[in-house]
A and B are shown apart, each in its own frame.
Chain A
């Protein structure tokens, strides 16, 4: 039954499942409670521009996606501060512009990108050792920032106006949170791809939120749920020879529905 554990690529895939779940738990919690799921979705699609840039420059696309997605996050943050453009419109624009840039970059590099699909829809079994190192380092950075700025993040998520009144630098903290979302998106790219990854940020936290009102417990519970559901999706995709990213997303969606009905 567990013969698949002998494969090195499967071992790497399991490590990847744990690493993505940490990012999902820590950052996905804020994505859900601050209600910025679609904004995060826009950043994730925009990150594809970075993937394309990586191809174009001949560097690891995951690495190239780091500055690119942070830039996308910060420009989203800048738009939020301006009242004249609606956030909804900005989300739509950023979403497609990022993807369009990615496609053009790939075009410029003689057109053919063999593993392009894995960045769009994810492919947890093609995660390399260097990908794992990048994910690990990003996870550590994410956890440090979440820990250091927890009071600030809770403040801007709950009541931005009051936070500002008590002297919290809400603009900076909002930017930092968006940058953090950008980093966790990079962690997730290889596993589920830019198109599907918003499900991993949103669903584990959305399930966990039904069972606890404590933010720390919410993060831990979403991380555990992330590990279980990602692993389950991975195993199912291996057994039935299905696309891993899509299988993981559907397993999570099924778990969400289930938890919703149990809760009712």
Chain B
């Protein structure tokens, strides 16, 4: 069985600042893992390296045994949604259709159409397919963007700070969705908040330039204590220890 992601001794420097240092991480098929760390700790950079948007200075990255750029048909991506123009003239259906892009001059097929509708159904947004995106709430927009990622039928779903853009009451709906997707694909979620996330994911990786801990969330007792020590002033909010015991 090929692992979803294999990161070996990856380092990344940006503008003479070391963002990632000697990070090694293996993510198995159907893992649900949260990469947790402070802002500026290199989480999004690591995500972009897995996506093939950035190339590491050192080390190796394999996605399903391939180079990241060659594994794009297996990968779905939910970006932070802050970089959108909400006023952009596009509706929900067209937004999700982008997830089915095949290449230059290739038309979308009826198969693509079916996948888009299926993805919209998966996130309960089928009724909104004709709606312009500016008329969606934050939570609805996020579900549309998840549908766009799912429309590719990915084997690996990468989510960048999915909690940042939605109301607390939407978080339940989000985790319900991820628990439905859990058996279909590997999922990596990036978050700066260890609190609620750790109750829902299977594994946790703690990243602050270096990888401090990687392992199952429920067995994380001592390990988490250690990370918590390592980066106690970095992850200052949330009470991960107690949350995890409860889990």
Q: Which residues on A are within 8 Å of B, measured CB to CB?
A: 33, 35, 148-149, 151-152, 154-155, 157-159, 161-169, 209, 212-215, 218
Contacting pair B89 A166 (CB below 8 A): no
B105 proximal to A (CB < 8 A): yes
New A-B pairs, 15, CB < 8 Å, besides A158-B88, A163-B98, A165-B52? A33-B89, A148-B105, A154-B90, A155-B98, A157-B88, A158-B84, A158-B98, A159-B79, A162-B98, A165-B53, A166-B72, A166-B101, A209-B89, A214-B89, A214-B91
Residues 148 to 165 of chain B near chain A (Cβ within 8 Å): 148, 152
Contacting pair A212 B101 (CB below 8 A): no
Q: List 30 A-B pairs, Cβ < 8 Å.
A: A33-B85, A148-B105, A149-B104, A149-B105, A151-B98, A151-B101, A155-B98, A155-B101, A157-B88, A158-B84, A158-B85, A158-B88, A158-B95, A158-B98, A161-B53, A161-B83, A162-B98, A164-B53, A165-B52, A165-B72, A165-B77, A166-B98, A166-B99, A166-B152, A167-B101, A169-B104, A209-B89, A213-B132, A213-B134, A214-B91
Contacting pair A167 B85 (CB below 8 A): no
Contacting pair B72 A167 (CB below 8 A): yes
- In the bound complex, residues from chain B placing their C-beta under 8 Å from that of A215 are 89-90
Nearest first, the 7 A-B pairs at minimum CB distance are: A213-B132, A166-B101, A213-B89, A165-B77, A167-B72, A158-B88, A215-B89
Contacting pair A162 B103 (CB below 8 A): no
- In the bound complex, residues from chain A placing their C-beta under 8 Å from that of B83 are 159, 161
Complex alpha-carbon distance, A35 and B75, angstroms: 29
B68 to chain A: closest residue by CB: A165
- In the bound complex, residues from chain B placing their C-beta under 8 Å from that of A163 are 98, 101
B51 proximal to A (CB < 8 A): yes
B231 proximal to A (CB < 8 A): no
Complex alpha-carbon distance, A203 and B184, angstroms: 48
Prevailing SS type, chain A contact patch: helix
Contacting pair B91 A213 (CB below 8 A): yes
B76 to chain A: closest residue by CB: A165
- In the bound complex, residues from chain A placing their C-beta under 8 Å from that of B72 are 165-167
B24 proximal to A (CB < 8 A): no
- In the bound complex, residues from chain A placing their C-beta under 8 Å from that of B94 are 154
Complex alpha-carbon distance, A215 and B97, angstroms: 15
Complex alpha-carbon distance, A2 and B65, angstroms: 73
A159 to chain B: closest residue by CB: B84
Contacting pair B90 A152 (CB below 8 A): no
Contacting pair B98 A218 (CB below 8 A): no
Contacting pair B101 A218 (CB below 8 A): no
A151 to chain B: closest residue by CB: B101
Complex alpha-carbon distance, A64 and B52, angstroms: 40
- In the bound complex, residues from chain B placing their C-beta under 8 Å from that of A164 are 53
Complex alpha-carbon distance, A164 and B51, angstroms: 9
Among B53, B84, B88, B134, find the residue whose CB has the most chain A CB atoms closer than 10 A: B88
Among B53, B95, B101, find the residue whose CB has the most chain A CB atoms closer than 10 A: B101
B97 to chain A: closest residue by CB: A151
Complex alpha-carbon distance, A159 and B94, angstroms: 12
Task: From the candidates B90, B98, B101, B148, name the one contacting A213 in the complex (CB within 8 A).
Answer: B90
- In the bound complex, residues from chain A placing their C-beta under 8 Å from that of B132 are 213
CB distance from B182 to the nearest CB of A (A): 22
Interface membership of chain B positions 97-112, coded 1 if the CB is closer than 8 angstroms to chain A and 0 otherwise:
0110101110010000
B158 to chain A: closest residue by CB: A165
A165 to chain B: closest residue by CB: B77
- In the bound complex, residues from chain B placing their C-beta under 8 Å from that of A151 are 98, 101, 108
Contacting pair A152 B98 (CB below 8 A): no
